[in-house]
Amino acid sequence: MKFITLVESLKKAVSLAEKATGRNLTLPILGNLLIQTEKGQLKISATDLEIGLNVYVMGKIEEDEEKTTVSAKTLNNFLTNLNEEKVSLEVKNNNLKVKSGVFEALIQGISIDDFPIIPQIKTEKYLELNIDNFIVAFGQVVNSAAIGGRPELNGVLIKFNGENLKLVATDSYRLSEKTLKADDFKTNLKDKISVICPLKTVQEVLRIAQELKGEAATVKIYIEPSQIFFDFGSLNLISRVLDGNYPDYEAIIPREFKTKLLFSRKSLIEAVKITGLFSSRINDLKLKIDPEDDKLKLEAEESGLGQGRSELKGKIEGEPLEISFNYRYLLDGLNNISSNEVFMGFNDDNSPSLIKSPEDLSYLYILMPIKI
């Protein structure tokens, strides 16, 4: 194989692919990239056995018979230091010769026979999102997914009900739900579908989407019972999905509230950040809600550290209440909202509270209080 392309194009492709490689002492080839040509392009593949990634690079093919696998780290490090315009790749006897200007490297390869097969998707049914909508929607829920514990919570629920698309994540302490309406995406799906995409996969596709923003306009998502496929055009990623039934999360979403708040989001974030600096090891932050003078007081205290207090003026309806939250979880919910004002609804100090924008009803964040 011999292939000529632009250095910057190859740099970006190899950098993206390297992050999908695996670290496995018993299977060192997972740290390699599969280098080959396909359909007039260079195809670079990587896998850690859970995620498989293919990225394509435009260029000129002069020979296409051989293919190989080489260390992703070595190739990436070499390319990172190049400042030339073009680079050529040549495969002979499983080794890869990389040449750019006066610089040349011969990277020893491992036979492709040992490289795991990356599965292919068979379905033609897809969901298609604008890349900006994709980044916002998945970004609003990903932080709520669990790390460890119940396996079915270690991911994001992707649920199409025939009309709307819902993305949901929870770790039992907080829950995020994003609803995309029919005009927010395209699909040729006719039937309802529901899968749990692993947290690691969602984090990876979000990172890729951020890097490809400006190049890729849309993301197509193909879903099968055991795997999910994200297609960015010049790059695609396939992953297994999680087994198990997602909990009936809708049952815990409060619909009515004894106490309601409407505050400046920016001011509330600032108060939570500053006061939260003095929270204890469990990150507890106390909210004292007084409807009589429309004041919200925030308090935190840690023995040996000190105390923090803030006071905000806003709109409060209903009953007075004292309630404590993990301030980091509270910040996550506030940061996921983009409106100037934020609505918070409470019932008591032992029931889930709701945070949302009063303008954008497509996103809600449920937070459980801390019992001190």
pLDDT in tens, 201-249: 999 999 999 999 989 999 999 999 999 999 999 999 999 999 999 999 9
Given a contact cutoff of 8 angstroms between Cβ atoms, the answer to whether 7 and 85 are in contact is yes
The contacts of residue 180 (CB under 8 Å, 6+ apart) are 129, 133, 137, 164, 165, 166, 167, 362
**Superfamily of domain 126-249 in the CATH hierarchy:** DNA Polymerase III, subunit A, domain 2 (3.10.150.10)
pLDDT (mean) for 116-144: 96
- CATH fold of 253-367 reads DNA Polymerase III; Chain A, domain 2 (3.10.150)
CA atoms within 13 A on the CB side of 351: 15
Amino acid at the residue 189: L
What pLDDT is recorded for position 26?
85
pLDDT-based confidence at residue 362 (cuts at 50, 70, 90):
very high
Taking the complete model, does pTM exceed 0.85, yes or no? yes
Q: pLDDT averaged over the chain?
A: 95
What pLDDT is recorded for position 49?
94
The contacts of residue 92 (CB under 8 Å, 6+ apart) are 66
What pLDDT is recorded for position 109?
94
Given a contact cutoff of 8 angstroms between Cβ atoms, the answer to whether 353 and 346 are in contact is yes
What pLDDT is recorded for position 14?
97
- CATH fold of 2-114 reads DNA Polymerase III; Chain A, domain 2 (3.10.150)
Tokens 């080959």 belong to residue: 36
- Model confidence at 303: pLDDT above 90: no
Q: For 79, which DSSP code?
A: H
What is the location of CATH 3.10.150.10 in the chain?
2-114, 126-249, 253-367
Given a contact cutoff of 8 angstroms between Cβ atoms, the answer to whether 324 and 287 are in contact is yes
- Model confidence at 372: pLDDT above 90: no
- Model confidence at 25: pLDDT above 80: no
- Model confidence at 283: pLDDT above 90: yes
pLDDT-based confidence at residue 304 (cuts at 50, 70, 90):
confident
Given a contact cutoff of 8 angstroms between Cβ atoms, the answer to whether 355 and 369 are in contact is no
Q: For 309, which DSSP code?
A: E
